[in-house]
Structure 1
Amino acid sequence: MALTLDPEDTRGRIHDLVWSGFYPDADVEWMITDEYLDPDEITAEDRAWIKAEAERACVAKHIAERDWPAQTEYDRLDAVFVQLRGEKIIALHRAGNTLADGHDDVREQWRIAGRLASGIRGCCFYHSQDLDTAVRTGRLHLAFSGGMIPEIELREANTVVVGNRIVELLRAAGFKAQWSGDINERIEADLGQWRKRGPTA
């Protein structure tokens, strides 16, 4: 029986999940069968194909990891995020699926930290669609803001400061980073390629 799924599209999604480095190997198969596709519409042949493709992709990534440097592009990016957090800037990896989701996650972190009393002065994040793009192209778009300052002019001025600091740290980490200076536009970081070791590596 022929496959009912789109092999090229599904293979691409498997690749993105595996090579993102965020998911255990064992989770990839069900993320495709139960989340990406409709489990009520796929056939036994589809499931067998997905299982084989997921296993193949995981093996290929593990083999590639053997030749990776001790510190990958993700590790350097994470070090930038750690530095930002130390400077009272919320920095989140894979924050939701959209910009709105990411800002919701930031607000939750801000609330947990104590709101205005926390001294948090801004945020920086990328969402899962940005991650997919980074896996495929090595380019990552980062959203940011100058925090929850009520006064618009102060918030916008602080957003410029935060944006410039993020760019500065990215460049210090060896990445090419571009930002127009417009607070309504995101920062683009050229990572070269996306390499993150998976949780089972």
Structure 2
Amino acid sequence: MFFRRRGKRKSPTAETIADARDMLDSEVAAGFDPPEEIITSILECYEHEADPAALRPHLETHLHDALAAHRAAQASWPETTDCDRLDAAFAELESRGILARQNYWCCGTCGCAAIDEEMSEAGPQARGYTFYHEQDTESAVEGHGLYLNYGAADHEAGPEAAVEIGEEIRGTLEHHGLQVDWDGTVEKRIGVALDWKRRAPQPG
């Protein structure tokens, strides 16, 4: 989830219920977590602010409605969405030795630490990485586009190696029909302008 709430454990107020529903809507639109995990994560975020047992029924009812509305909206979506293009681009990068992760960890700091560990475990076949974290997902859902972290596996190779990986990422994204905004320097993350439409997983 995107952030943790603080406060007293108590029966949920109308404001708490409304805020939790907004968070749920964002998670449904993000399209990564299964329904029960969405409920559990939101309850954890509000556990100091509201009694989870009292808040859960409100979330379960709203989740049912939110998923139904999301699946109904999908009927008017194009056959291939920007999220589909992003999936295809990340899969291609992965096949070429660039670890590509979506909705990866809570923030850039944690994501960088985790991807370094993944690259160490992957060995020499991992040439570099790209990822966006949960806060980036939230921003993209809200219509602000996406920003990607990236880098080379060999940190001692200098910024030129990271820029080479960045250029490969940019080319792959553009090949799959996505618009990229990046100045070609390590000082700037790779921006991707996209209309966030990620299909809900089919019910089991």
Query: Which range, TM-score by smaller chain?
Result: 0.7 to 0.9
Counterpart of 2:199 in structure 1 is: 197
Partner SS state of residue 95, structure 1:
coil
Letter in 1 for 2:56: R
Is 2:134 the partner of 1:128? yes
Counterpart of 1:172 in structure 2 is: 175
Number of residue-to-residue matches in the alignment:
193
Letter in 1 for 2:174: R
The CA distance in 2 between the partners of 1:126 and 1:172, in whole Å, is 19
Runs of 5+ unmatched residues, structure 2: 1-10
Cα distance change, pair 72–138 in 1 and its aligned pair in 2 (3 A): farther
Cα deviation, residue 108, structure 1: 2.3
Identity %: 27
Provide TM-score, normalisation by structure 2: 0.84
Is 2:164 the partner of 1:158? no
Partner SS state of residue 158, structure 2:
helix
Is 2:15 the partner of 1:29? no
Superposition map of 1:91-106 within 5 A: 91-106=100-115
Runs of 5+ unmatched residues, structure 1: none
Cα deviation, residue 37, structure 1: 0.9
The CA distance in 2 between the partners of 1:6 and 1:141, in whole Å, is 30
The CA distance in 2 between the partners of 1:28 and 1:159, in whole Å, is 35
Q: Write the deviation string for residues 45-102 of structure 1: whole angstroms up to 9, x where unpaired.
A: 5333222222221111111123333332222101111121222211111110011111
Cα deviation, residue 138, structure 1: 5.3
- Asked whether the equivalents of residues 140 and 146 of structure 2 are also in contact (C-alpha less than 8 Å), the reply is yes
Misfit runs of 4+, over 4 Å: none
Superposition map of 1:18-97 within 5 A: 18-33=28-43, 35-38=44-47, 41-42=50-51, 46-97=55-106
- Asked whether the equivalents of residues 138 and 194 of structure 1 are also in contact (C-alpha less than 8 Å), the reply is no
Cα distance change, pair 2–86 in 1 and its aligned pair in 2 (3 A): closer
The CA distance in 2 between the partners of 1:4 and 1:39, in whole Å, is 16
- Asked whether the equivalents of residues 12 and 51 of structure 2 are also in contact (C-alpha less than 8 Å), the reply is no
Cα distance change, pair 196–59 in 1 and its aligned pair in 2 (3 A): same
The CA distance in 1 between the partners of 2:106 and 2:176, in whole Å, is 26
Provide TM-score, normalisation by structure 1: 0.85
